[in-house]
Amino acid sequence: MSTSGPLYIGFDLSTQQLKGIVVNSDLKVVFLSIFDFDAHSKGFPIKKGVITNEVEHEVVAPVALWLQALDSVLADLKKQGLDFSLVRGISGAGQQHGSVYWGEDAEKLLKGLDAQKGLEEQLAGAFSHPYSPNWQDASTQKECDEFDEKLGGVEQLAEATGSKAHHRFTGPQILRFQRKYPDVYKKTSRISLVSSFLASLFLGHIAPFDISDVCGMNLWNIHNGAYDEELLKFCAGPHGVDDLRRKLGDVPEDGGIDLGKVHPYFTSRYGFSPECTIIPSTGDNPATILALPLRPSDAMVSLGTSTTFLMSTPSYKPDPATHFFNHPTTPGLYMFMLCYKNGGLAREHIRDAINKAQNDDHPSNPWVNFDKIALDTPPLGQKSPSDPMKLGLFFPRPEIVPNLPPGQWRYTYNPDTNTLTRLSDNDSQWTEPTDSARAIIESQLLSLRLRSRGLTTPPNPSLPAQPRRVYLVGGGSKNKTIAKIAGEILGGSEGVYKLEIGDNACALGAAYKAVWALERKQNETFEELIGKRWREEEFVERIADGYQEEAFEKYGRAVEGFEKMELEVLKEVEEKK
Ligand code: XUL
């Protein structure tokens, strides 16, 4: 492993851990360090990286925890033998939407960092508020309702900012913050996102927001490339719009801009070169699409506790059920995102029920029985073409796409007559838990196909619109059954792929962003530069077939029934309210 050339670090400051990954100009990973917040931190009453106030639905993370983590990761990389003087650039990824509130002494304390003491000790007084609201926070329903109304309705807010209001989005969070803590808000000199907070530490002064991550606030007007004046004014309340504009700061358009050199704290303490350059950190989802030279019309499915679906696209077609962000590196492209609360956990419920029914816990591979049943079940449970299709919704947790409370709903659908029939819990047409194994995978993937169909294009004139490739990342990407069904439902003219570095995609994308920023020729796009250096055989594995005509067409008809089913359930839930 050569570590002689220039090196680049990408950090991933996520909910449960801080990761630092070091790559060389050939995109090869040469060092990796992980600091797990629950396992490795000292002095914080956290659980899974956060502190929860059930009564107010607040979820926050202590900012000082991240300071402790950063020094620990850097110390560990040093211990592993990383020669920091070779590091030419640093970028990062932060959990999206979280905000950090800096106090009046922030700039002075950042500038004066002393290499003899740690970050946690020196920056304790830098914040006006010690906690960062986390993306899992759900305390802002009132503020979301107000945001949604502000421009005339959810459609208008989505059109302007890329998303309707969401609890976790930073604008509604700031609005609640300034109302709940008016005095603290007054004393707040600047507000960072988690991504720009990370860049600020390395720079030794407060870094601007990243052009993609700023779209997770409900404050940035994507059409105008500027803050939305009306939303900003509303969010600032009695404190005034100019004050909030100052707190947020400007947003450079170039995601690869040179923000400045690393602060002497890092050169003295760890041996970084004084020439090491800081590149804007972005959000964790935008960074994930930078883990490979993703082409417009490729799709990425991140199969974690929740499911995230990401595409890079030249079309801006906002909808209240989806998210659009500026692309983190490439002007003219956007990142399309679907973010579900129910993903892996929902599949695990059915997996566990199957193992229980079979009196088999298979501790070494709990998925064996689930996978076998899912594969033995014909698509949509149709034993013969004249059988109706089996469709269901499986939400052990409240879902955002679509907006439904926890519950399970089962239907049959006859595509010839376009008839949907609701099944009762004990209906003999649906055998629990076995019929649910394939149905839950299908349900999750049909939802992705339904909501991304306006963005895909025909890969060539003889094929229907679909992604070119489907890339799977995250824990669930190891599951070949999901990969197979993903190909049948979503298509993929070249197939379904898994990233070899799946679990580290986000940190890797951040590191690649730094490589691109510092090695690009004039006007060379991220996709061009990374594309040239990409080694297909080493970095990705084709794990399942993509487009298969018969299956794709059948699932195309099922999507119609699926959409109808969602609308019916939404209506029923609405009527019960
Ligand atoms: C995206 C979102 C999550 C966080 C996770 O909108 O809230 O994916 O970014 O870190």
Note the pLDDT tens digit of each residue in 282-300: 999 999 999 999 998 899 9
Look-up of token digits 């990973």: 29
Q: What pLDDT is stored for residue 364 in this prediction?
A: 81
The single-letter code of the amino acid at 332 is: G
Task: Give the confidence band of 503 by pLDDT, cuts at 50, 70, 90.
Answer: confident
**pLDDT averaged over the chain?**
96
Say what angle helices 141-150 and 229-236 make with each other, to 10 degrees: 150
170 Cα to the center of ligand 1, angstroms: 12
Question: Given a cut of 90, is residue 176 above it in pLDDT?
Answer: yes
**Residue 236 parent element (H or E):** helix 229-236
Q: What pLDDT is stored for residue 403 in this prediction?
A: 86
Question: Given a cut of 70, is residue 168 above it in pLDDT?
Answer: yes
Query: To 5 degrees, how large is the angle CA 474–CA 478–CA 480?
Result: 130
Q: What is the dihedral of CA 512, 518, 524, 530, to 10 degrees?
A: -20
Query: Which residues contact residue 523 at a Cβ distance below 8 angstroms, ignoring those fewer than 6 apart?
Result: none
Cβ–Cβ contacts within 10 Å for residue 341, how many? 18
Cβ–Cβ contacts within 10 Å for residue 161, how many? 30
Please list the alpha-helical segments (H only) found in 11-62: 37-40
Over range 352-372, report the average pLDDT.
89
| Span of 39-48, 147-156, 363-372 with lowest mean pLDDT | 363-372
Q: Which has the closest alpha carbon to 286: 324, 316, 254?
A: 324
Q: What pLDDT is stored for residue 397 in this prediction?
A: 86
345 Cα to the center of ligand 1, angstroms: 16
Task: Give the confidence band of 3 by pLDDT, cuts at 50, 70, 90.
Answer: low
Q: N- to C-terminal Cα distance for the chain?
A: 61
Please list the alpha-helical segments (H only) found in 255-380: 264-270, 284-288, 344-357, 368-376
Specify the pairing of strand 87-94 against strand 277-278. parallel
255 Cα to the center of ligand 1, angstroms: 19
Nearest CA to ligand 1 atom 3: 96
Which ligand 1 atom is the nearest neighbour of the CA of 308? Answer: 8
Over range 536-540, report the average pLDDT.
93
**pLDDT tens sequence across 42-95:** 999 999 999 999 899 999 999 999 999 999 999 999 999 999 999 999 999 999
298 Cα to the center of ligand 1, angstroms: 20
Residues 345 and 406: beta-carbon distance below 8 Å: no
526 Cα to the center of ligand 1, angstroms: 23
343 Cα to the center of ligand 1, angstroms: 14
In the chain, % of residues over pLDDT 70: 99
Ligand 1, residues 14, 37, 97: which to mutate, most atoms within 8 A of Cβ? 97
Question: Given a cut of 90, is residue 509 above it in pLDDT?
Answer: yes
Express the helix, strand and coil content of the chain in percent, nearest 5 each: 40, 20, 40
Q: Is 310 near ligand 1, meaning CB less than 6 Å away?
A: no
273 Cα to the center of ligand 1, angstroms: 33
Which ligand 1 atom is the nearest neighbour of the CA of 168? Answer: 7
Which ligand 1 atom is the nearest neighbour of the CA of 166? Answer: 6
Q: What pLDDT is stored for residue 235 in this prediction?
A: 98
Over range 457-480, report the average pLDDT.
93
In the chain, % of residues over pLDDT 90: 92
Q: Is 134 near ligand 1, meaning CB less than 6 Å away?
A: no
Question: Given a cut of 70, is residue 220 above it in pLDDT?
Answer: yes
Count of helix runs (H) and strand runs (E) in the chain: 21, 24
**pLDDT tens sequence across 305-327:** 789 999 999 999 999 989 999 99
Which ligand 1 atom is the nearest neighbour of the CA of 135? Answer: 7
Query: Which residues contact residue 451 at a Cβ distance below 8 angstroms, ignoring those fewer than 6 apart?
Result: 309, 319, 321, 322, 338, 401
Q: Is 15 near ligand 1, meaning CB less than 6 Å away?
A: yes
Nearest CA to ligand 1 atom 2: 96
Question: Given a cut of 80, is residue 362 above it in pLDDT?
Answer: no
Which ligand 1 atom is the nearest neighbour of the CA of 14? Answer: 10
Nearest CA to ligand 1 atom 9: 96
Question: Given a cut of 90, is residue 345 above it in pLDDT?
Answer: no
Backbone angles phi, psi at 529, to 5 degrees: -65, -50
Query: Which residues contact residue 231 at a Cβ distance below 8 angstroms, ignoring those fewer than 6 apart?
Result: 147, 150, 151, 160, 161, 171, 218, 219, 221
Query: Which residues contact residue 386 at a Cβ distance below 8 angstroms, ignoring those fewer than 6 apart?
Result: none
Strands (E), 249-365: 260-261, 277-278, 282-283, 299-303, 307-313, 323-326, 334-340
Task: Give the confidence band of 365 by pLDDT, cuts at 50, 70, 90.
Answer: confident
Question: Given a cut of 60, is residue 254 above it in pLDDT?
Answer: yes
Ligand 1, residues 99, 161, 284, 503: which to mutate, most atoms within 8 A of Cβ? 284
Q: What pLDDT is stored for residue 157 in this prediction?
A: 98
**Residue 244 parent element (H or E):** helix 241-248
Q: Which has the closest alpha carbon to 68: 33, 101, 41?
A: 41
> Measuring CA to CA, how many Å separate 462 from each of 457, 458, 459, 549?
12, 8, 8, 11
Question: Given a cut of 80, is residue 32 above it in pLDDT?
Answer: yes
Over range 424-438, report the average pLDDT.
96
Q: Is 173 near ligand 1, meaning CB less than 6 Å away?
A: no
Question: Given a cut of 90, is residue 461 above it in pLDDT?
Answer: yes
3-state secondary structure of 457: strand
Q: Is 308 near ligand 1, meaning CB less than 6 Å away?
A: yes
561 Cα to the center of ligand 1, angstroms: 29
Question: Given a cut of 60, is residue 1 above it in pLDDT?
Answer: no
Q: Is 285 near ligand 1, meaning CB less than 6 Å away?
A: yes
Q: Is 228 near ligand 1, meaning CB less than 6 Å away?
A: no
Residues 17 and 98: beta-carbon distance below 8 Å: no
Ligand 1, residues 135, 137, 194, 323: which to mutate, most atoms within 8 A of Cβ? 135
Residue that wins the pLDDT comparison between 262 and 475 = 262
